[in-house]
Structure 1
Amino acid sequence: MATFRAIKEEMERRIAAREWEPGAMIPAEEELAREFGSARATVNRALQELARAGVVERKRKAGTRVSLHPVREARFVIPLVRQEIEAEGAEYRYALLSREMERAPDLVRARLGVEGELLHLRCLHLANGAPFQFEDRWINPAAVPGALEESFAGISPNEWLVRNSPFSQADFSFRAARASRSEAEILGLPEGEAVFIAERATFIGDAPVTLVRLVHPPGYVLRTSL
């Protein structure tokens, strides 16, 4: 019985070899299950993986077609800042700047879709004593009640959430901007210096978990893979 991974790889081979040409219908799940000697659910999982990668297009009651213009999927892994820094051979240090329960600004509440007070944390990550990343984070205590009991004095919210709070969906945004006065002071930069900003909102089901704004000084490089 073929595994879903073996089925997926064979489908990818057929598409790459133009045995299944762009726009062509792929055989039905029942037919593929018989061919591979596997359960229909196994075939369905393989097709779902290919659909997420943009290789095939699936429509209810219309079947599955090879994509005319396949879109490769870039996968962003949420990194531990400590590991990023130590992987470069630098010494990692973390400082908690503030920890408050407060009403979030309108933009944060709109992005997360929540009202009421959130846990607001401001932190600095350092590499060999130099500022590496300023972390400005809001945590929804309704989704992560354990965060209210954590001081975050000895562990960053980045590490704590990776260990303690699963999520099912994440929205990312990246942009270049100029450092605000407070960001410049924290990072030791002139006000208005160009910085790299990454924002990430995570959810568990429909419940928002956290929204974080990560500000990096010049020289930071973001890497991913296809």
Structure 2
Amino acid sequence: MQRPLSHHTVRKLLLKRIHSGEWAPGAIIPVEADLAVEYGCSRTTVNRALRQLAEAGIVERRRKRGTRVNPTPVARTTLEIPIIRQEVTDRGGDYSHHILLQEMAPAPAFVYAKLGLPDQDLLHLETLHLSDNRPYMVEDRWVNVDAAPHIKTAPFDKISPNEWLVQEVPYSDGEISFSACAADERVAELLEVKVGTPLFLVERTTWMDGSPITTLKMYYTEGFRMSSRL
């Protein structure tokens, strides 16, 4: 019995069809189910191959819009989800965290829109991360517990939600944005800054094969810097 193709092989076959001009720049690539039938492998294998091509900037993947050959292939920066504890210790700080809120509750409309979920109770977590017992970052997170069922019993007195999710819940893709914002009254109080203080804001949403996992906002104190390498 012939062994099914690996994702490495499928990626090479897809890349060959792109380079040959069969799929020109801007062309829509067949859906995962059709490619899985064509190559005699699982959809998971095809998904992984396409994800690697997307990470390389060769194709573009859009939720509910399919995959197309990138008209202008570019090198992309890959950002791994950082573990905040390591982020603090790498800067020479002594890390700790406090869970300020942990409850199942209805979410704001923008959260359901980001996750693509109908109105339902989600796990709302608010965490204060500290460096040398000083505020470092406030994390406001909503979690789809159907995608992370064991999170309800996670030992958040010993490990932060950030670190637990990185270790326990795999993700296949995500969206991340960076911006500046002014500290509102709640965030200003937690970070011990004045209301209106400029802060660095990171917003991130992750999925596993189309199933939403979590969306969050991270408010960093003044002077925070983030860097990445191509």
TM-score by length of 2: 0.71
| Stretches of structure 1 lacking an aligned partner (at least 5 in a row) | 12-24, 30-39, 58-64
Partner of 1:76: 79
Cα deviation per residue 1:131-186 (whole Å; 9 max; x = unaligned)?
11101111111111101122522211001101110111111111001011100000
1:68, CA displacement in angstroms?
A: 8.2
Structure 2 Cα separation of the partners of residues 203 and 46 of structure 1: 17
Cα deviation per residue 1:39-72 (whole Å; 9 max; x = unaligned)?
x9xxx99998566423689xxxxxxx9x885422
Structure 2 Cα separation of the partners of residues 175 and 196 of structure 1: 6
Q: Quick one: which amino acid aligns to residue 140 of structure 2?
A: D
Larger Rg: 1
Partner of 1:108: 111
Matches for 1:140-219 after TM superposition, within 5 Å: 140-219=144-223
Q: Quick one: which amino acid aligns to residue 222 of structure 1?
A: M
Task: Give the SS at the match of 1:94.
Answer: strand
Q: Quick one: which amino acid aligns to residue 168 of structure 1?
A: S
Task: Give the SS at the match of 1:161.
Answer: helix
Q: Quick one: which amino acid aligns to residue 146 of structure 2?
A: A
Partner of 1:222: 226
Matches for 1:41-60 after TM superposition, within 5 Å: 52-54=55-57
Structure 2 Cα separation of the partners of residues 188 and 206 of structure 1: 38
Structure 2 Cα separation of the partners of residues 52 and 102 of structure 1: 35
Partner of 1:121: 125
Structure 1 Cα separation of the partners of residues 78 and 187 of structure 2: 28
1:105, CA displacement in angstroms?
A: 0.6
How many residues are matched? 187
Cα deviation per residue 1:168-224 (whole Å; 9 max; x = unaligned)?
111111100101110000000100100000011111112111111100011000111
Question: Which of residues 131, 134, 138 in structure 2 aligns to 1:134?
Answer: 138
Structure 2 Cα separation of the partners of residues 50 and 136 of structure 1: 32
Q: CA RMSD in A?
A: 3.0
After superposing on structure 2, the runs of 4+ consecutive aligned residues of structure 1 that deviate more than 6 Å are 44-48
TM-score by length of 1: 0.72
| Stretches of structure 2 lacking an aligned partner (at least 5 in a row) | 1-7, 23-38, 40-45, 61-68
**Are 1:99 and 2:102 an aligned pair?**
yes
